[in-house]
């Protein structure tokens, strides 16, 4: 079983379809402004690290985090990846 199959299986264990999870992440991502500076990227990274640490402290490492904080962390991570890709293109 590859990573994507593991992910879909984990979603089904908690009663979430892959489509609804991705829709929630997309809505969250769209609410986060794109990164426009190194300073803003650093703030986003700090916020993501804080959310991830909170989850590691209170969540289960055995399953993905489907909480609002987990989805926010994922969406912030996507913005950071988007920023890094834009920086690489320049």
CA–CA distance, 87 with 70 (Å, rounded to integer): 26
pTM above 0.75, yes or no: no
**How many structural domains comprise the chain?**
1
pLDDT of residue 62: 43
Which of 16, 32, 33 has its CA nearest to residue 67?
A: 16
Q: List the domain range (segments joined by +) for residue 34.
A: 3-89
The DSSP call for residue 16 is -
How remote is the C-alpha of 44 from its chain's centroid?
A: 12
Let me know: does 48 contact 35? Beta carbons within 8 Å: no
Taking the chain (90 residues) in runs of 10, the rounded mean pLDDT of each run is 56 60 78 92 93 74 63 89 85
Cα angle for residues 73, 35, 43 (degrees, 5° grid)? 60
């Amino acid at each position: 079983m590859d990573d994507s199959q593991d992910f879909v299986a984990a979603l089904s264990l908690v009663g979430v379809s892959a489509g609804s999870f991705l829709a929630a992440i997309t809505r969250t991502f769209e609410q986060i402004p794109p990164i426009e500076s190194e300073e803003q990227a650093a703030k986003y990274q700090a916020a993501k690290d804080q959310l991830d640490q909170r989850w590691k402290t209170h969540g289960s490492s055995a399953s993905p985090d489907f909480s609002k904080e987990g989805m926010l962390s994922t969406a912030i991570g996507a913005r950071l990846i988007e920023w890094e890709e834009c920086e690489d293109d320049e």
